Amino acid sequence: MQFVIVGTGGQGILFASKALGHIAMEKGRSVVGSEVHGMAQRGGSVVSHFKVGEYLSPLVKVGEADVLLAFDQNEAVRNLHYLRDGGTLVVNLYDPKAFQNDRLQSSLDRRKIEVHPIEGYSILKEHMGGRFLFLNVLILGAMCGAGVGGVSVDEMNQAISDLAPPRFVEENLKVLKLGHEAAR
Amino acid sequence: MSKRSILLGNEAIARGIVEAGCEIATAYPGTPSSEILPAVAAYSDQLGTKTAVEWGANEKVAYEMAVSASFGGKRTCCIMKQVGLNVAADPFMSTAHFDLKGGFLLVVSDDPGPHSSQTEQDSRYFAMFAKVPCFDPSTAEEAKEMVFDAYDLSERHGIVTMLRPTGKVDHARQDVPLRDEVLPPKKDEFKKDPKRWVCLPAGVRVNHPRLNDKNDVIRNEFEKDYEKYNYIVPAKGTARLGIIAGGTTFAFLSDMIRTSGRDDIEILKIGTPVPLPVKLCEEFIARHEKVLVLEQTYPVIETQLNDRNKIMGRWNGFVPRAGELLPELIEEIIAKCLGDEVETSIDEDVLSAMEEMQITPRPPMLCPGCPHRASFFAIRKALPKAITPSDIGCYTLGIMQKGIDSAIDMGAAVTAASGFYLASKVDGEERPVVATIGDSTFFHSGLTGLASAVYNRHAFVLAILDNRITAMTGGQSSPNVGAKLRKGDQGVQIDLEQVCRGCGVSYIKTVEAYDVDENVDVVKDAWAYAWENKEPAVLIFKHPCITILKEPPTPRPVRMDPEVCIGCKYCITSFNCPGLVFDESSKKAYIDERYCVNCGVCMSVCPHGAIVLREEA
Ligand code: SF4
Ligand code: SF4
């Protein structure tokens, strides 16, 4: 299973691959991926790769990702080429109208890409007082809700409980549920 | 070796360093190497070793501490990024000649691509230059394993050894085996022996030939005894192409063969590129009609080959001479070698969608609420015509705010200011110069430049942007903060004002970086003083980096008054906070609450007073 996770620096992308890695390890699978550090983290575009299985290289080749987790709709479009035909896109929409672009939709259709959109910011505004730092867990919830990535919501629940700072576990689990429901 | 754990490549290297019994580890932070030293501290505590861990004020300092600590027989190491080795090049070249006693490991992380560096240089060339053996890992697991062999090699031959991971190894996250036991520490038994430890020219006549002999012996070892790093992966079918691969390119090739079932490629994997096991390579080349060399970033393996007639690689430009070898690029190069079709991944629909949706890559920016942005703004507003040299760190991103006219390397803000001053002095004209440098960078290599500028009477304003942290590399401490790597291990805090005073600066002022309005006058005043007295004036813009704040400061929530905003975009072009966005339909600016941290600084920015305090309901 090969994941590409995209967004902008500061959105908590690294936590997403940590959670995926934790789950895979619990199942005794090998994992390898790449993190983004330094300059690119300062609000700029960020791409992180993650592979579960017998791989050596931390990079996903263009056209081979099974799942694209996009924390930002523009970054989703910029990185669509990583997805294989028939792959799945889980995307946080900020401006859903713009995402309806004809050419974009026709490419998604042609390549049989399954799209699971959530409007993360409105959900977090409504339920979490606009604390957007929960976006990463929301996306992970949406991924489980969409039933992709080979990860069940129970496994994700466990991973979040193990990894999140203790005093934020409860809120994180609540967000996970919100994401799960939003994408189902 | 029982347990496996998911580690960052840098953590894997650190774990190897501790398990191998290293007792003194030093570094200066630099992406992609920065996480190694903190992880050494953590594993040392976990495994109960007493390993000393220290940030040196710069790489030269760190290198000299670590290598000297090995003279009595202990295992030590020094860690840095590729450009850091330029700073440490002096002691590196000298001690490469030494007949060392203890094991000394130099870890240098390279940044092909480059993702956060001012060069793409290949440290393996430095290894070649210094005639020092180099290990080039393909994966995090291999990097960890190489640490043990590097120490062993260093001790057996009394030579500096280099481990040269690239960013994709450093920042890989991978499951890696752990050992529970640590190799036993060695006693420090330094024996006075000036012939051995003093680098007199006379010594070179002995040292250099001895170093050459060591290289011959090590090359021979690499040919025969290091099969675990230098080996052949035979083709499943008939090989149409031979590839010599080192570093992360090998990892990708393995994945490619496994997933695509490709059966027509034979690979010679080289994990010890310097000194190159040439015979091994030549035997391999002899068996193939065509040979491709894939390595990051320079043609180091390639140029060590005696006969390059059959070779396709970076040296002859078959492989691009610069840039990172990403999987899709490697695949393209192989196809080109074999004359196969390359499938294109370009999707015209998506391209035009991107154009219609106006999607461009988001460049890195100073964080919302970053104190540097406020400092740059005040400086530009005070002296719009000033030349503004700057330096290496987060604040280099001030280029987005047009706050930076030059940046060369660590510390060059100060020396460039001297240079700009001299250029205008010769013409006899007043041209303000305001240099910006970070607190950590100032200690790294700004100090000597300042001493030189005071001594020579150079008129400029030096703005030290003191955010209490080395932020770009992940938040390490520095001498003006005083905190050390291990909690509870307290250093002496060095006061910036006093240091500058000690250097002979007489005009020194510390200001709150957020106070934009006041600071405009302060900058003007500082320049007037510098020009009149022909000496540098120092301003310390102090405000903690927002990434280290445990508790957010008192919020000053802002709101945009659309009635007042005239849509001039001044706030965006000259202040450039991610929280300020322009709405093309209404032709007005607005606050993007996804990014805004309510620092309130932008209230001082809008010349029309459109950004105002929001009355909290
Ligand atoms: S907020 Fe002020 S500076 Fe920004 S566009 Fe409006 S008027 Fe111009
Ligand atoms: S208050 Fe203004 S300067 Fe501060 S983060 Fe928000 S938009 Fe940026």
What is the distance in angstroms between the Cα of A180 and the nearest Cα belonging to chain B? 22
pLDDT band at B375 (very low <50, low <70, confident <90, very high): very high
Chain B contact set for A33 (CB, 8 A): 172-174
Yes or no: say if A37 and A73 are a contact pair by the CB < 8 Å rule.
no
Write out the H or E segment, with its range, that includes residue A68: strand A65-70
Q: What is the pLDDT of residue B338?
A: 92
Chain B's closest residue to A94, CA to CA, is B594
SS3 B389: strand
pLDDT above 90 covers a percentage of chain B that reads 86
Helix axes B201-224, B140-157, angle to 10 degrees: 130
With b for 16 or more beta-carbon neighbours within 10 A and e for fewer, the B261-275 pattern comes to: ebeebbbbbbbbbbb
**CA-nearest residue, atom 7 of ligand 1:** B565
What is the pLDDT averaged over residues B70-75? 97
Cβ partners under 8 Å of residue B384, min gap 6? none
The set of residues, in sequence order, having a beta carbon less than 8 Å from that of B434 and lying 6+ positions away, is B379, B383, B386, B387, B388, B417, B460, B461, B463, B523, B527
d(CA B453, CA B162): 36
One-letter identity of residue B529? Y
Domains and CATH numbers, chain B: 4-223 (3.40.50.970), 230-338 (3.40.50.11610), 371-544 (3.40.50.970), 558-613 (3.30.70.20)
- List strand residue ranges (DSSP E) for B402-501, in order: 434-438, 461-466
Is B1 a residue whose pLDDT tops 50? no
Q: How far apart are CA B369 and CA B548, in angstroms?
A: 12
* Burial letters B381-400, b for 16+ CB under 10 A, else e: bbbeebbbbbbbbbbbbbbb
- What SS3 state is found at B590? strand
Question: In the prediction, which pLDDT does B344 show?
Answer: 78
Instruction: Calculate Rg over the CA atoms of chain B.
Output: 27
Are residues B115 and A104, on separate chains, in Cβ contact within 8 Å? no
Binding site of B, by residue number, is 565, 568, 571, 577, 596, 599, 602, 606
- Residue B524 has phi, psi (to 5 degrees) of -60, -45
Q: Which residues of A touch B250 (CB under 8 A)?
A: 56
> Considering only CA atoms, which of B151, B32, B130, B160 is closest in space to residue B474?
B32
Distance CA A73, CA B594 (A): 14
- Ligand 1 center to residue A120 CA distance, Å? 29
Nearest residue on chain A to B578, alpha-carbon basis: A43
Q: Which tens digit of pLDDT belongs to each residue from B174-184? A: 999 999 889 99
pLDDT higher than 90, residue B409:
yes
Find where tokens 């406020």 sit: B374
Identify which ligand lies nearest to the alpha carbon of B574: 1
pLDDT at B488: 78
Amino acid at residue number B22: C
Angle at B497 between CA B494 and CA B498, to 5 degrees: 60
Under 8 Å CB pairs connecting chains A and B tally to: 169
DSSP string, A135-171: HHHHHHHHHHHHT-TT--HHHHHHHHHHHS-GGGHHH
Q: What is the pLDDT of residues B284-313, one digit of tens each?
A: 999 999 999 999 999 999 999 999 999 999
Report CA(A133)–ligand 1 centroid distance (Å).
28
Peptide bond into B32 cis (omega under 30): yes
Query: For ligand 2, which residues put their CB under 6 angstroms from it?
Result: B 368-369, 558, 577, 579-580, 591, 596-602
Assess contact for B464 and B541: CB atoms under 8 A. Answer: yes
Nearest to B535 by CA among B461, B458, B463: B458
Find, among B324, B274, B361, the residue nearest to B167 by Cα: B324
pLDDT in tens, B536-580: 999 999 999 988 877 777 889 999 999 999 999 999 999 999 999
CB contact under 8 A, A103 and B349: yes
Contact B365 A44 (CB under 8 A): yes
**Among B559, B611, B612, which residue has the most ligand 1 atoms within 8 Å of its CB, making it the best to mutate?**
B611
Residue B29 burial (CB count, 10 A): 26
Query: Is B352 in contact with A44 (Cβ distance < 8 A)?
Result: no
Pick the residue from chain B with its C-alpha nearest to A102.
B353
How far does the CA of residue B249 sit from the closest CA of chain A (Å)? 8
Looking at beta carbons, which residues of chain B come within 8 Å of A101?
353, 356-357
> Of B558, B563, B565, B601, which is best to mutate to test ligand 1, by the most ligand atoms within 8 angstroms of its C-beta?
B565
| Full set of structural domains in chain A with CATH | 2-183 (3.40.920.10)
Nearest Cα residue in chain B from A73: B359
Instruction: For residues B343 and B329, give the distance between their C-alpha atoms in angstroms, rounded to a whole number.
Output: 12
| Greater model confidence, B482 or B172 | B172
The closest alpha carbon to B434, from B513, B378, B394, B393, belongs to B378
Alpha carbon of B591 to ligand 1 centroid (Å): 11
Confidence class for position B616, pLDDT limits 50, 70, 90 = low
Other CB atoms closer than 10 Å to residue B114's CB: what's the count? 22
Residues annotated within the binding site of B for [4Fe-4S] cluster are 565, 568, 571, 577, 596, 599, 602, 606
The reported pLDDT for the residue numbered B617 is: 47
Q: Measure Cα distances from B48 to A13, B41, B45, B193 in Å.
A: 33, 10, 5, 33
Contact A37 B34 (CB under 8 A): yes
H or E element that contains B588? strand B588-591
Which-ligand-closest: CA of B587? 1
What does R_g of chain A's alpha carbons equal in angstroms? 15
* Displacement of CA B237 from its chain's centroid (Å): 42
Could you give the CA distance from residue B107 to residue B93 in angstroms, rounded to a whole number?
15
In this structure, of A92-96, B147-151, B258-262, B504-508, the range with the lowest mean pLDDT score is B258-262
A3, A50 Cβ separation under 8 angstroms:
yes
What is the rounded CA–CA span in Å between residue A156 and residue A15? 12
DSSP class per residue in B306-365:
S--TTEESTTTTSS-SSS---HHHHHHHHHHHHT--------HHHHHHHHHTT--PPPP-
**Could A42 and B394 be called an inter-chain contact, meaning their C-beta atoms sit closer than 8 Å?**
yes
Give the whole-angstrom CA distance, residue B83 versus residue B544.
Answer: 27
| Chain mean pLDDT for chain B | 94
Asked if pLDDT for residue B32 goes beyond 80, the answer is yes
Q: Hey, whose CA ends up nearest to atom 6 of ligand 2?
A: B596
Name the one residue in this structure whose structure tokens are 């062993």. B152
For the record, the structure tokens of B159 come out as 């030579």
Q: What's the Cα-to-Cα distance from B73 to each of B49, B188, B603, rounded to whole Å?
A: 17, 5, 60
Q: For residue B613, what is the enclosing H or E element?
A: strand B611-613
Measured distance CA(B324)–CA(B482) in Å, rounded: 38
At residue A74, the pLDDT reads 95
A 10 A CB-CB count for A157 gives 17
Which ligand 1 atom minimizes the distance to the CA of B582?
5
Report strand pairing: B461-466 vs B434-438. parallel
* Tens digits of residue pLDDT in B429-458: 999 999 999 999 999 999 999 999 999 999
- Residues B466-476 have pLDDT tens digits of 988 888 887 88
Q: How many CB atoms lie within 10 A of CB B181?
A: 7
Name the B residues in 178-217 with CB < 8 Å from any A CB: none
Test A32 with B364 for CB contact under 8 angstroms: no
ipTM for the whole complex: 0.92
Rounded CA-CA distance B471/B546 in Å is 10
> Rounded CA gap, A91 and A107, in Å?
16
Distance of CA B135 to the CA centre of its chain: 19
Burial of A126 (0-12, 13-18, 19+ CB in 10 A): exposed
Those residues of chain A that have pLDDT short of 50 are none
Give the other-Cβ count within 10 Å of B184's Cβ. 6
Q: Where are the alpha helices (DSSP H) in A27-60?
A: none
State the distance from the centre of ligand 2 to the C-alpha of B600, rounded, in angstroms.
6
Interface contact B466, partner A, CB < 8 A: no
Condensed to tens digits (0 to 9), the pLDDT of residues B184-215 reads: 999 999 999 999 999 998 899 999 999 999 99
The answer to whether the CB atoms of A58 and B357 lie below 8 A apart is no
Confirm or reject contact between B362 and chain A (CB < 8 A): yes
| Nearest chain B residue (CA) to A36 | B171
Residue closest via CA to ligand 1's atom 6 equals: B565
Tell me, rounded to whole angstroms, the distance of Cα B211 from its chain centroid: 29
Looking at ligand 2, which residue's alpha carbon is closest to its atom 5? B596
Task: Supply the pLDDT for residue A12.
Answer: 85
**Ligand 1 lined by B589 (C-beta under 6 Å):** yes
The residues, any chain, with a CB within 8 Å of residue B344's CB and separated by 6 or more, are none
